[in-house]
């Protein structure tokens, strides 16, 4: 097998990153105006998203329905215009020609563009269902009209019209591993011939020795690093960190000043890796789930929407490495679960399983591991197909 660093270096020489104008502005604002200047092997391109920022506040998240509709209605021709510009630049040897696409699952139009230009396309997603979210908005399935749709049988209706563009992709890659989701991946492999697990990405990043690439993060908000300073001032004993942004009353803030810290947007992976952290209270987004597995931190699960409930079921029922908070949240019950997680017998058993799972995913992302081999295969057989 060719050294992964050689393959990666070959890709770096020809890598262009595409984002919306709004998100690119937010990325630069969270870092610095010249944050990406040092990445001479990368080019950063943008296209408009068809939306207007709310009151000029670039830090406000965009409405998901409006954004999904804009993806379906505006992005295809904007993307094609960008491709035409890149093609023109390549003919004058300013940049190399476009030879393949890597797209997240929210951009189905890129599959069509790949077919139109006879180029390879790799779809990246933590879970396949999100690929169809724009179509659900376009066809009026989402948003639900009111709360009655949660219980009137609407959620049980089989949707027949979803276009199966995934079959047209050159490959579909998932930020997971065979160890974490072997049953699901085996089922998907029987439907799609080119499905690969190439994660968890957090484990790959932990092993990466190129500091410059590690700094290429994708936070849309400026990180509040005072939490790391606060953790350093603590004794190396377990604390519970709460993931997600919340609005807290001044009364609550004053009550916890002497025993806790409330921060805005934390560098989560650095926080989870700190020796003072003994647990994470999370909504169970997939990134938080895999990041906690990669560092061996136990979690209290409090799922809310989208992929969080199924992630929580996987974490609690199949992996048995988490404790779930009931939807009818009571202070006394949360206190009981936190104590169980931190010092109880169940928490000790979960931490043992957690460390076993951490070791397995580390093995899968090292040279010779299944995720490492899959990533190497996707790069050489799909992305570098034309070289």
Looking at the DSSP assignment, which residues form a beta bridge with residue 242?
Answer: 281
Structural domain for 154, as ranges = 4-220+364-383
The alpha carbon of residue 32 and the mean position of all alpha carbons in its chain are separated, in whole angstroms, by 23
Asked whether residue 35 falls in the same domain as residue 139, the answer is: yes
Give CA–CA dist 306/308, Å, rounded.
Answer: 6
Query: What 8-state DSSP symbol labels residue 382?
Result: I
Strand (E) positions, the chain? 15-20, 42-47, 100-104, 120-124, 171-174, 195-197, 239-242, 277-282, 299-301, 322-324
pLDDT at 370 over 90: yes
pTM, rounded to two decimals: 0.81
If asked whether residues 171 and 316 sit together in one domain, one would say: no
Residue 374: name the closest of 131, 182, 119, 177 by CA: 177
Residues 37 and 145 both lie in one domain: yes
SS3 296: coil
Q: Are 81 and 182 part of one and the same domain? A: yes
- Same-domain status, 290 and 243: yes
Compute the average pLDDT of residues 41-53.
83
The 10s digit of each residue's pLDDT in 155-201 is 666 665 555 667 788 999 999 999 998 888 888 888 787 899 999 99
CATH code for the domain in which residue 325 is found: 3.40.50.2000
Six token digits for residue 43: 């080019």
| pLDDT one-digit tens code per residue, 313-335 | 888 888 888 888 987 788 899 88
Q: Which helix (H) or strand (E) holds 68?
A: helix 64-91
Which pLDDT does position 259 carry in this prediction?
79
Are residue 163 and residue 137 in the same domain, yes or no? yes
Q: Which of 375, 364, 244 is nearest to 301 (CA)?
A: 244
Task: List own/partner pairs for 200-203 with CB under 8 A and 24 or more apart.
Answer: 200/175, 200/176, 200/290, 200/291, 200/293, 200/294, 200/361, 200/365, 200/371, 201/175, 201/290, 202/269, 202/287, 202/290, 202/291, 202/294, 202/295, 203/290, 203/294, 203/361, 203/362, 203/364, 203/365, 203/371
- The tokens for 300 are 């209290």
pLDDT band of 46, cuts 50, 70, 90: very high
The residue that leads in pLDDT, 253 or 94, is 253
Do 111 and 188 belong to one domain? yes
Q: Domain count for the chain, please give it.
A: 2
Percentage of the chain with pLDDT > 90?
Answer: 24
Q: Are residues 187 and 248 in the same domain?
A: no
Q: Mean pLDDT lowest for which of 126-135, 177-186, 220-229, 244-253?
A: 126-135
Q: Which of 204, 49, 197 is nearest to 128 (CA)?
A: 197
Residues 240, 328: one domain? Answer: yes
Same domain, 232 and 211: no
Q: Are residues 270 and 369 in the same domain?
A: no
Residues in the chain: 387
3-state secondary structure of 46: strand
Q: Would you state the pLDDT for residue 51?
A: 79
Cβ neighbours around 175 below 10 Å, total: 20
317 and 264 part of one domain: yes
């Amino acid at each position: 097998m060719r050294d992964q660093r050689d393959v990666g270096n070959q890709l770096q020489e020809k890598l262009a990153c595409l984002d919306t104008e709004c998100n690119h502005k937010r990325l630069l604002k969270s870092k610095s105006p010249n944050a990406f200047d040092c990445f001479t092997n990368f080019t950063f391109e943008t296209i408009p998203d068809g939306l207007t920022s709310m009151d000029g506040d670039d830090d406000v998240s965009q409405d998901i329905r409006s954004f999904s509709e804009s993806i379906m209605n505006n992005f295809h021709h904007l993307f094609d215009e960008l491709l035409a510009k890149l093609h023109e630049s390549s003919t004058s040897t300013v940049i190399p020609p476009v030879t393949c696409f890597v797209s997240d699952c929210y951009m189905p139009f890129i599959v069509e563009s790949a077919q139109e230009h006879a180029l390879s396309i790799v779809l990246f997603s933590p879970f396949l269902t999100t690929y169809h979210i724009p179509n659900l908005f376009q066809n009026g399935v989402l948003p639900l009209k009111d709360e009655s749709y949660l219980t009137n049988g609407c959620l049980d209706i089989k949707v027949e019209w979803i276009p199966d563009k995934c079959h047209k992709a050159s490959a579909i890659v998932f930020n997971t591993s065979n160890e974490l989701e072997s049953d699901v991946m085996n089922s998907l492999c029987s439907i799609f011939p080119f499905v690969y697990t190439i994660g968890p990405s957090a484990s790959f990043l932990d092993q990466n020795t190129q500091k410059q690439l590690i700094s290429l993060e994708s936070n849309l908000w400026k990180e509040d690093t005072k939490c790391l300073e606060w953790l350093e001032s603590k004794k190396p004993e377990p604390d519970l960190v709460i993931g997600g942004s919340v609005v807290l009353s001044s009364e609550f803030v004053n009550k916890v000043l002497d025993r806790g810290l409330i921060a805005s947007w934390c560098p989560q992976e650095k926080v989870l890796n700190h020796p003072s952290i003994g647990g994470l209270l999370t909504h169970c987004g997939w990134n938080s789930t895999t990041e906690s597995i990669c560092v061996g931190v136990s979690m209290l699960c409090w799922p809310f929407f989208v992929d969080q409930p199924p992630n929580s079921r996987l974490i609690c029922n199949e992996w048995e490495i988490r404790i779930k908070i009931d939807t009818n949240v009571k202070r006394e019950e949360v206190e009981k679960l936190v104590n169980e997680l931190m010092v109880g017998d169940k928490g000790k058993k979960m931490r043992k399983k957690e460390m076993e799972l951490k070791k397995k995913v580390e093995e899968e992302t090292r040279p010779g591991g299944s995720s490492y081999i899959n990533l190497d295969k996707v790069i050489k057989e799909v992305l570098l197909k034309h070289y």
